[in-house]
Amino acid sequence: MGAERNQESGFDDWAQTLLSELEQQTPEAIRKLRTSERHEISVPVLIKPGNASDSHKLAVNAVTGDVSSGGCQVMSEIPLNVGDVYKLDFEKGELDLPTVYARCLRCRLVREDAFECGFVFFNQIKLDEVKSVDPITDSLL
């Protein structure tokens, strides 16, 4: 019986710690953790699996919502696997960037036919090549 009480107490402590961490994850706290400025820009991007063994899988067409030197947000009609590595090919024009490899950090349903996905790039990119973009005022948080 004493062992059960210790297990319950351990679980309660763990749950309380998680709740405390969750309470600290405010939009302001997330903004402070950002290492790069985001730029709102809508550019078509072709998303392919990043590993050679999945290269036979279909590519996904998407559109960027924002881009920073460390990652991007895209909207697609198909959900992407969180944690997977993807190869992102941005359409040339407004965004003159090379192909980048990125990990999908999140994918959420926006509506029945639209998914918002967040990516972090493996290598920082130079945004001085982005033409006519305005910084976002954190409206997406």
In a domain, 60, yes or no: yes
53 lies in the same domain as 122: yes
Q: Residue 40: in which H helix or E strand, if any?
A: strand 39-40
Print pLDDT tens along the chain (141 aa). Answer: 545 555 567 788 888 887 777 676 666 655 555 556 777 888 999 999 998 888 888 899 999 999 988 999 999 999 999 999 999 999 988 778 888 999 999 999 999 999 999 999 999 888 764 554 444 444 443
29's enclosing H/E stretch is: helix 27-33
Is the domain of 9 the same as that of 46? no
Q: Which two tokens stand for residue 29?
A: 């706290």
Are 52 and 101 part of one and the same domain?
yes
Q: Quick one: 88 and 23 in the same domain?
A: no
What's the number of domains the chain is made of?
2
Asked if the structure places residue 138 within a domain, the reply is no
Which domain does 95 fall in, by range?
36-133
54 and 108 co-located in one domain:
yes
Same domain? For 98 and 126 the reply is yes
The confidence score (pLDDT) of residue 39 equals 77
Residue 53 lies in a domain: yes
Q: Tell whether 80 is covered by a domain.
A: yes
Same domain, 106 and 79: yes
Of the candidates 69, 72, 50, 68, the residue with the CA atom closest to the CA atom of residue 60: 50
The closest alpha carbon to 38, from 82, 85, 71, 2, belongs to 71
Q: What is the pLDDT of residue 125?
A: 83
Domain assignment present for residue 76? The answer is: yes
117 in the same domain as 91: yes
* 41 and 21 belong to one structural domain: no
Question: How many residues in the chain?
Answer: 141
First-to-last alpha carbon distance for the chain, in angstroms, is 46
Query: For residue 112, what is the DSSP state?
Result: T
